[in-house]
Amino acid sequence: MSSPLPRESYDPVQVLAERFRTAIAAAYPQAGPDADPLISPSRNPKFGDFQSNAAMPLGKALGIPPRQAAQQIVQHLDIADLAEPLTDASIAGPGFINITLRADTLASLLSRLDAPSLGIDPPARPQTIVVDLCGVNLAKQMHVGHIRAIIIGDTLARVLARLGHTIIRQNHVGDWGLPIAMVVAELMDRAAAGAIDLDRITLDDLDAIYREAQSQSEADRRGLEAARRWWSHPKAVAELEAQVAGADEAMARAKGTLVKLQSHDPAVYAVWRRIADVTMAACLAHCRRLNAIVTPEHSAGESSYAEELPDLVADLESRGIAQPSDGALVVRVEGIEEPCIIRKRDGGYLYATTDLAGIRRRVQEFGADRVIYCVDSRQSLHFQLVFGAAIRAGYATRPGAGAPSLLQHAAFGSILGEDGRPFKTRAGENVRLSDFIAEAVERAARAVDQKNPDLPERERAAIAEAVGIAAIRHADLASDRVKDYVFTFDRMLAFEGNTGPYLLYALVRIKSIFRKAAERLGEDAVRRAAAASPFVAGAPDEKTLALALLRYPAVVRAVGDTLEPHRLVQYLFDLAGAFNGFFTNCPVLQAPDEPTRSARLRLCALTDRVLTDGLRLLGIEPLARM
């Protein structure tokens, strides 16, 4: 079948845009070649498949009634080979031009889409993109708060890689500084006293010690200040002063430990190493279970920047970018009142200092064109300051490049409980990530046992794991990244409506069709039909499905541009819905004739591929049965 379409065009929006651009240029040469055809899929099927909104701004710019402009455009428009003939009724409202594609156009667009790339071709100039994700701290148990940085970061990395860019994942590990030194010191004491066995220490133990040390030093200090201000009962103050003296002593000891750590004192370093190993083993295991690609090679601790910091600060100071302020050293960023503090009065460095070193390494050593930080939205001021400082310092510019690389904070909101407050256990504690995942999988297991008790137990367990993880990832990606979202297990694992399992289920139905088809028609016949039958998009549900499929490449690109995974989730929900409509109204194996059956088999195969591709971008592993 010879097609009138340009070879490379699978996207109806682009094909139509080209034709409209030509028509506009012919009708209104004075509008210039840049006049935007404003093609978009129609929201409402009764307005056809696509619409052009070009006439309104054009009419405005040229002082012509928009409907008249629309008529002029239509008169010069040559799309008879693609679309149903345009009539007076095609121009609606203030000047919308409605287009309904011909069934054979849809068929040939679908066959273009049905290439290995699924319409997502490598960019002219692939970028190197660093994605900062996960972000754990040593000696701290992971909790639900971490899943967003893992899941969103992993998804964005997958999408950008799919778009053909080179991705460098970076798990920025908080493994340095006084808090860690305190844990090291405490651990060494306890080990020396024979109270613990370093070889058998768990992350839970470390977490407990960390929190003890942390709360002690902070609470005492705050208590003393409050006491001085409010009570000022001499005895109470004296008592607290004694406690703070104890805390100060612990602090002094931690500082000593930190110095030894920095000089790689073997005994101290070994304990620190042990803490890092225990923490990272747990972290990477969690990531793996969540289907997030984070490995040791992706992990760079703050410790790896420690030695660069004095030189970095000296560099900023000598070039006059950093200036003293109130004893500290700061970088001023235009338009922001707060300064970016890079060295404390006592000479210590801060996380902003480390992040500056991080940007320098990522841009200048790794050659990043773009650095994306998947971090909590509460850090947004911090990143504004650090980005501003890095750009001022030139650290964000690749050697030889004219302009700074793109630094982006892909900020995300918090996970809230049903009461609208941060998601916590009944006791008010953070929900441990392991408990959280376990509950999701357990609930999924109950559903699988109930709905499909005949499957072997092993398979049921594997399905429950996949469904539970799918539900978690979907829930975390489904709504607008920057907003907080309200989480409940009940809703997430109701398995109805826009959930992970719904998407998996649509795919399971497709797989089931192919299983049955292979039984009845033979594997080879099915494979041939699925790979090469002419597409047909005549029935309404076939057409809806076809239009949904054709949107896929543009959606993936939009996610890469906006860093908003919920667009892909929403799209896949639409696609799954379109397939479910097709499934109920367009029998495949019972199709009225052989050509229809083959065409539908191919449509199923393409839907399978797009759905699978999209789910994988979300880090959701497809299933054959559930």
Partner RNA sequence: GUGCCCGUAGCUCAAUUGGAUAGAGCGCUGCCCUCCGAAGGCAGAGGUUACAGGUUCAACUCCUGUCGGGCAUACCA
Interacting positions 418-447 with RNA (CB under 7 A): 420, 444, 447
If one asks whether residue 269 binds RNA (CB under 7 A), the answer comes out as no
Alpha helices in 522-539 (DSSP H): 523-532
Complex with RNA: residue 128 or 543, whichever CB lies closer: 543
Tokens (6 digits) for 345? 């009065």
If one asks whether residue 519 binds RNA (CB under 7 A), the answer comes out as no
Q: Which of 12, 119, 153, 174 binds RNA (CB under 7 A)?
A: 174
Rounded-to-integer distance, Cα 288 and Cα 298, Å: 13
Shortest distance in whole angstroms from residue 507 CB to RNA: 10
Q: Which of 501, 553, 560, 565 binds RNA (CB under 7 A)?
A: 501
Rounded-to-integer distance, Cα 3 and Cα 446, Å: 51
Complex with RNA: residue 447 or 615, whichever CB lies closer: 447
Residues numbered 364-393 forming contacts with RNA, rule: CB under 7 A: 377-382
Shortest distance in whole angstroms from residue 547 CB to RNA: 11
Note whether 307 and 160 are within 8 A (CB): no
If one asks whether residue 580 binds RNA (CB under 7 A), the answer comes out as yes
Of 48-56, 249-257, 259-267, 291-299: span binding RNA (CB under 7 A): 48-56
If one asks whether residue 272 binds RNA (CB under 7 A), the answer comes out as no
Q: Which of 9, 12, 51, 437 binds RNA (CB under 7 A)?
A: 51
In 3D, which of 45, 17, 53, 14 has the Cα closest to residue 574? 45
Residues numbered 12-41 forming contacts with RNA, rule: CB under 7 A: 38, 40-41
Shortest distance in whole angstroms from residue 464 CB to RNA: 8
Shortest distance in whole angstroms from residue 622 CB to RNA: 12
Shortest distance in whole angstroms from residue 399 CB to RNA: 28
Half-sphere exposure of 396 (CA within 13 A, CB side): 19
If one asks whether residue 566 binds RNA (CB under 7 A), the answer comes out as yes
If one asks whether residue 620 binds RNA (CB under 7 A), the answer comes out as no
Rounded-to-integer distance, Cα 441 and Cα 452, Å: 16
Rounded-to-integer distance, Cα 569 and Cα 401, Å: 36
Complex with RNA: residue 12 or 619, whichever CB lies closer: 12
Tokens (6 digits) for 605? 């195969």
Query: For RNA, what does the binding mask look like between residues 287 and 306, x meaning CB under 7 A?
Result: ---------------x----
If one asks whether residue 232 binds RNA (CB under 7 A), the answer comes out as no
537 SS3 class: coil
- Measured at the alpha carbon of residue 13, what is the angle toward residues 8 and 16, in degrees to the nearest 5? 85
Alpha helices in 551-593 (DSSP H): 552-562, 566-585
Rounded-to-integer distance, Cα 497 and Cα 609, Å: 22
Residues 6+ apart with CB under 8 A from 582: 541, 542, 544, 545, 603
Rounded-to-integer distance, Cα 17 and Cα 41, Å: 12
Longest dimension (CA), the chain: 96
Residues numbered 455-494 forming contacts with RNA, rule: CB under 7 A: 463, 467, 478-480, 482-486, 491, 494
If one asks whether residue 545 binds RNA (CB under 7 A), the answer comes out as no
Complex with RNA: residue 534 or 577, whichever CB lies closer: 577
What are the φ/ψ torsions at residue 337 (nearest 5 degrees)? -70, -45
Q: What is the spatial order of strands in the sheet that 322-325 belongs to? A: 322-325, 328-331, 340-343
Shortest distance in whole angstroms from residue 249 CB to RNA: 17
Q: How many amino acids of this chain bind RNA (CB under 7 A)?
A: 104
If one asks whether residue 159 binds RNA (CB under 7 A), the answer comes out as no
If one asks whether residue 590 binds RNA (CB under 7 A), the answer comes out as yes
Rounded-to-integer distance, Cα 601 and Cα 527, Å: 9
Residues numbered 135-154 forming contacts with RNA, rule: CB under 7 A: 137
In 3D, which of 59, 60, 78 has the Cα closest to residue 70? 59
If one asks whether residue 612 binds RNA (CB under 7 A), the answer comes out as no
Shortest distance in whole angstroms from residue 357 CB to RNA: 12
